[in-house]
């Protein structure tokens, strides 16, 4: 499996991107302002993520998704760790990610990959999405914000 930047010869896998974010408008916004990376093997797209620069020293992992048949096999962790390494190699000092309060598996994954919870954006999903979102039997209302220091310094 290789992870590569989705360039002009590549069409972003919208079906996968919409697994992580059901709003086509939000996904299209991410694609316009960020860089899309895909994991593939034998010309089959297995996963995807998007990085968006949010400042001189900060980049955000705004969308990450793994095709259903490849879930539970460690690919999500490989994608997150690849995003962290790319952010470091691009000279960013911090990488951020946000996920829903109902995204239990994603919250665990990000923390296993070195992210720390830094805040909560209350009612983010009820403000920005027309349809109610449910995961794990929980309504997704709040955005849990996580970040990771990439400079090698630890301020905790």
**Mean pLDDT, rounded, for 34-58:** 94
Residue 10 lies in a domain: yes
Q: How confident is the model at residue 11 (pLDDT cuts 50, 70, 90)?
A: confident
Q: What is the DSSP letter of 70?
A: G
Helix H or strand E segment including 29: helix 24-33
Task: Spell out a b/e string for 52-73, using b for 16 or more CB atoms within 10 Å of the CB, else e.
Answer: bebeeebbbbbbbbbbeebeee
DSSP-based three-state secondary structure for 56: coil
Q: How confident is the model at residue 155 (pLDDT cuts 50, 70, 90)?
A: very low
For the chain, the domain total comes to 1
pLDDT (0 to 100) of residue 156: 44
Determine the Cα–Cα distance for residues 62 and 90; give it in Å rounded to an integer. Answer: 17
pLDDT (0 to 100) of residue 153: 52
Packing angle of the helix pair 104-112, 75-89 (nearest 10 deg)? 50
Residue 115 lies in a domain: yes
Residue 28 lies in a domain: yes
Q: What share of the chain is helix, strand, coil (3-state, %, to 5)?
A: 30, 35, 35
| 154 has pLDDT over 60 | no
pLDDT (0 to 100) of residue 10: 83
Residue 21 lies in a domain: yes
Q: pLDDT tens digits for 73-106?
A: 999 999 999 999 999 999 999 999 999 999 999 9
Sign of the torsion formed by the C-alpha atoms of 80, 83, 89 and 95 = negative
Select from 43, 54, 99 the least CA-distant residue to 76. 99
| 124 has pLDDT over 80 | yes
Residue 155 lies in a domain: no
**Mean pLDDT, rounded, for 109-136:** 94
Q: Supply the range of the domain harboring residue 110.
A: 2-149
CATH code for the domain in which residue 116 is found: 3.40.630.30
Residue 154 lies in a domain: no
Residue 105 lies in a domain: yes
What is the share, in percent, of the chain residues with pLDDT greater than 70? 97
The distance from CA 135 to its chain's CA centroid, rounded to whole angstroms, is 17
Instruction: Tell me if 109 sits within 8 A of 77, measured CB to CB.
Output: yes
């Amino acid at each position: 499996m290789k992870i590569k930047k989705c360039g002009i010869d590549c069409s972003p896998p919208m079906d996968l991107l919409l697994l992580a974010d059901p709003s086509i408008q939000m996904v299209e916004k991410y694609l316009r302002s960020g860089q899309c990376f895909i994991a593939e093997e034998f010309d089959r797209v297995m996963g995807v993520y998007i990085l968006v620069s949010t400042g001189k020293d900060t980049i955000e992992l705004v969308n990450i998704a793994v095709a259903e048949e490849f879930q539970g096999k460690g690919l999500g962790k490989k994608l997150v760790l690849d995003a962290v390494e790319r952010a470091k190699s691009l000279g960013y000092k911090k990488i951020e990610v946000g996920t829903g309060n109902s995204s239990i598996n994603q919250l665990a994954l990000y923390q296993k990959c070195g992210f720390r919870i830094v805040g909560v954006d209350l009612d983010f999903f009820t403000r920005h999405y027309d349809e109610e979102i449910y995961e794990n039997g929980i309504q997704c209302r709040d955005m849990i914000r996580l970040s990771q220091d990439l400079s090698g310094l630890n301020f905790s």
